[in-house]
Amino acid sequence: MENMKDVTIIGGGPSGMFASFYSGLRGMSVRIVEFQDKLGGKMHVYPEKIIWDIGGVAPKPCYEVIEDIVEQGLHFSPEVNLKERVIDIKKVAEQHFIVETESGNAYHSKAVIIAVGGGIIKPMTLDIEGAERYEVSNLNYVVQSVQKYKDKHVLISGAGNAALDWAADLAPHAKSLTLCYRKDEISGHEHMKEELDQLGVIEKKRTQIKQLMSDDSGKLIKEVVLESTDDGSEEVIAVDEVIISHGFNRDSALLDNATTQLERYDDFFIQGQGNASTSVPGIYACGDILQHEAKVHLIASAFNDGANAANLAKKYIEPEAYDNGRVSSHNDIFKEKNKQVLKKYLVNA
CA gap 75, 153 in Å, rounded: 44
Q: Max alpha carbon distance in the chain (Å)?
A: 72
34 is in an annotated binding site: yes
Q: What pLDDT digit, counting tens, does each position of 293-331 carry?
A: 989 889 999 999 999 999 999 999 999 999 988 877 778
42 is in an annotated binding site: yes
86 is in an annotated binding site: yes
Tell me the whole-structure pTM to 2 decimals: 0.85
Got the DSSP string for 267-308?
TTEEE-SSSSB-SSTTEEE-GGGEE-TT---SHHHHHHHHHH
The CATH code of domain 5-121+249-348 reads 3.50.50.60
CA gap 210, 128 in Å, rounded: 7
Q: What pLDDT digit, counting tens, does each position of 261-291 carry?
A: 999 999 999 999 999 999 999 999 999 999 9
- Residue 285 β-bridge partners: 114
The CATH code of domain 125-246 reads 3.50.50.60
314 is in an annotated binding site: no
CA gap 44, 151 in Å, rounded: 24
Q: What pLDDT digit, counting tens, does each position of 11-43 carry?
A: 999 999 999 999 999 999 999 999 999 999 988
CA gap 207, 229 in Å, rounded: 6
CA gap 89, 87 in Å, rounded: 7
Query: Domain locations in the chain?
Result: 5-121+249-348, 125-246
Helical pair 299-317 and 14-25, crossing angle rounded to 10 deg: 40
137 is in an annotated binding site: no
